[in-house]
């Protein structure tokens, strides 16, 4: 393995008064998920879900985190242990908009895994 290099952040934003946040990050290569961060423009009470979307099909998708914010303005998910993914796997982040307030600013941080066995 050649090592790990930081991948450019993937970002998105969503006005929750207009709809729920749903963003899928795709890398096309093996990668490591480092962090999922969401800053909100104000305190919100919504549910955030982070899902590993498997290249092997929907039957292999796995929720990595489901968290309900209780009047909070930040969400941070850092996988415990190694969070290595194969080429074709994706990360999907969703946030409900039940209360129709606030803007969600999403950042996904990842590292590219080097080539190797």
- The 10s digit of each residue's pLDDT in 63-76 is 999 999 999 999 99
Cβ atoms 45, 71 nearer than 8 A? yes
- The 10s digit of each residue's pLDDT in 54-65 is 999 999 999 999
Label residue 3 by pLDDT band (50, 70, 90). Answer: low
Closest CA to 19 of 115, 104, 107: 104
| Cβ neighbours around 48 below 10 Å, total | 21
- 41 by Cβ neighbours in 10 Å (0-12 / 13-18 / 19+) ranks as middle
Average pLDDT over every residue of 40-47:
98
Please check the confidence at residue 35 and state whether its pLDDT lies above 70. yes
CA distances, 80 to each of 15, 40, 46, 64, 72 (Å)? 30, 24, 23, 10, 22
Domain residue spans of the chain: 4-112
pLDDT of residue 116: 46
pLDDT of residue 7: 87
What is the rounded CA–CA span in Å between residue 102 and residue 6? 30
Closest CA to 63 of 87, 75, 74, 47: 47
Domain 4-112 class?
Answer: mainly beta
Mean pLDDT of the chain: 93
Model confidence pTM above 0.85: yes
Label residue 5 by pLDDT band (50, 70, 90). Answer: confident
């Amino acid at each position: 393995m050649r090592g790990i290099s930081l991948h450019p952040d993937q970002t998105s934003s969503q006005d929750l008064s207009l709809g729920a946040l749903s963003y899928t990050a795709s890398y096309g290569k093996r990668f490591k998920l480092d962090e999922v961060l969401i800053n909100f423009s104000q305190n919100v009470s919504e549910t955030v879900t982070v899902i590993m979307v498997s290249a092997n099909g929907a039957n292999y998708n796995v929720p990595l985190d489901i968290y309900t914010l209780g009047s909070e303005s930040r969400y941070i998910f850092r996988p415990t242990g190694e969070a290595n993914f194969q080429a074709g796997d994706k990360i999907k982040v969703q946030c409900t908009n039940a209360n129709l307030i606030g803007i969600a600013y999403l950042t996904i941080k990842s590292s590219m895994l080097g080539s190797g066995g």
